[in-house]
Amino acid sequence: MGHERDAWLGIDLGTQSVRVLLVTADGTVLGAGSAPLEGRRDGVRHEQDPEQWWTAVCAAARVALRDRPARVGGLAVCGTSGTVLLTDAAGWPVSPALMYDDGRAWAEGERLRGAGLTVQNTWGLPKALWLLRTHGHGHIAHQPDIVTARLVGHPVPTDSSHALKTAYDVERDAWPAVPHVPSLPDVVRPGTPLGEVCPAAAEATGIPAGTPVIAGMTDGCAAQIASGALRPGSWNSVLGTTLVLKGASATPVHDATGVVYNHRAPDGSWLPGGASSVGAGVLTAAFAGADPATMDARAAAHEPSGAVAYPLVSSGERFPFLAPDASALVLGEPDGDADLWAALLQGVAFAERLCLDYLDHLGAPLDGPLTFTGGGARSPYWNQLRADVLGRPARVPKQTEPALGMAALAAHGTGSGPLTDVAERMVRIDTVLEPRPGRTALFAEPYSRLVDELTARGWLSPTVAAHAHRRLTVDTSPS
């Protein structure tokens, strides 16, 4: 019996779980599955067992495809940016995976910067060198490479998006000349066909044999696709455990400090952005077991909070400034739990505003729509608060998951049209937020106080701080 319509499979390898969505061309989700992942954290160490990824993909895909009411037209996979490991020649893991924020490769980072590369210690290449030094020989691979190789049945090229933090030069489409770095993978542009699901993978996952496997992008880019923010000047703010801002530009946005970097879109345009260590993960750490909706309701009475926070999830900051020694801070004394919760919510919004101020300082186009995605976008109160602090409208799609972006990329990679058009057909906007009159001015003083504190600590450039103050004056001036 024939199927009524095609659908595409998006696979998201997250920090805490694998998520799989089966999505039609108009954005209808026909099936969804997830499976948990566990990691090992100890100070700056953050690892995962890569075998978990495949086990979780198999479980989540089987749930998503349980009824399979459509033909699977193709699939794509996204992973956490900067997560690397070593494999043997057949593509099987021979080391743990060092996650996106593992900070042990500081010596390798210093050596690479000394060789002229703009890399951060938590990026893929320093960590790959650390793995080679501590685990011996192996082939450098990225998180999705393990899953795509298992799906196809043999090693396949990595995509330029995941390779970016392993120092792949997306403007020249080439690896840099770095001494003593063996076994760098072949690279293709996102949206490139990698092969087809092999019979063994089909039996393990429930994904039909012969399904096209398309080269994916990082989770931040996947969430950007899922937001529809692909036309120049559009931006997507992904608020999950940490905060990622991704935009679209006709030309690269250059940043000498390296905190803003540019992915290459499948059509050759540019997706500038950066990843902060501020995010919703701080709420879980500070209020284990708390009900977010209840705490949001209580926090509404504290606008602004009596305290000002820069709520880093882990030590060190990487956007909107680079400060490896930065630590979470709270200025003032919160008036109880509700006020502290409010300070953390507002602090993330202040960091988000500072990210946009820094992008404006660099000359990035910011005149398009802003979209909120990520787990934090499930909070209506936090969404409105962020729009108020930013002083600009924001959109919230019905589906805010990176897996939707990978479904759109799979559709593009199998001939369904330009990615911008495919994404706009799939993305359904659920809510449009307008900043409430006077609220941006209400938060101006604590934001200015935070900017000044970050500058006093030597983390934020005085030039960037001055730019942030100027923008705030414009945004809060009477119209």
Q: Are 359 and 252 in contact (CB under 8 A)?
A: no
**β-pair type (17-24, 308-310):** unpaired
Q: Which residues contact 195 (CB under 8 A, 6 or more apart)?
A: 151, 152, 153, 154, 156, 212, 213
Q: Are 280 and 376 in contact (CB under 8 A)?
A: yes
Q: Which residues contact 190 (CB under 8 A, 6 or more apart)?
A: 159, 160, 161, 215, 216, 217, 221, 264, 265, 266, 409
Q: Which residues pair with 20 in a beta bridge?
A: 11, 33
> Domain locations in the chain?
6-216, 229-401+418-476
**337-362 vs 380-390: helix axis angle to the nearest 10?**
50
Supply the CATH classification number for the domain 6-216: 3.30.420.40
DSSP state of 3: -
The percent of the chain in helix, strand and coil, each rounded to the nearest 5, is 35, 25, 40
Q: Are 370 and 390 in contact (CB under 8 A)?
A: yes
Please give the Cα distance from 387 to 395 (Å, whole number): 10
**Under CATH, to which class is 229-401+418-476 assigned?**
alpha beta
- How do residues 204-225 score in pLDDT, each as one tens digit? 999 999 999 999 999 889 989 9
- How do residues 286-300 score in pLDDT, each as one tens digit? 999 999 999 999 999
Does residue 2 surpass a pLDDT of 50? Answer: no
Nearest 5°: phi and psi at 257? -80, -15
Q: Which residues contact 423 (CB under 8 A, 6 or more apart)?
A: 225, 226, 228, 230, 405, 408
Residue range 343-370: mean pLDDT, rounded: 97
Domains 6-216 and 229-401+418-476 share a fold: yes
Token representation of residue 374? 């990520």
Q: What is the share, in percent, of the chain residues with pLDDT greater than 70?
A: 98
How many residues in total does the chain contain? 479
Please give the Cα distance from 380 to 321 (Å, whole number): 28
- How do residues 409-440 score in pLDDT, each as one tens digit? 999 999 999 999 999 999 999 999 999 988 99
Q: Which residues pair with 9 in a beta bridge?
A: 22, 75
Q: How far apart are the first and last CA of the chain?
A: 63
Token representation of residue 229? 């923010």
Residue range 328-345: mean pLDDT, rounded: 97
Residue 60: predicted pLDDT: 98
Does residue 192 surpass a pLDDT of 90? Answer: yes
Please give the Cα distance from 403 to 399 (Å, whole number): 9
Q: Which residues contact 90 (CB under 8 A, 6 or more apart)?
A: 154, 155
- How do residues 399-417 score in pLDDT, each as one tens digit? 878 999 999 999 999 999 9
Does residue 343 surpass a pLDDT of 50? Answer: yes
Residue range 265-280: mean pLDDT, rounded: 93
Please give the Cα distance from 375 to 312 (Å, whole number): 17
Whose tokens are 């991704």? That residue is 246
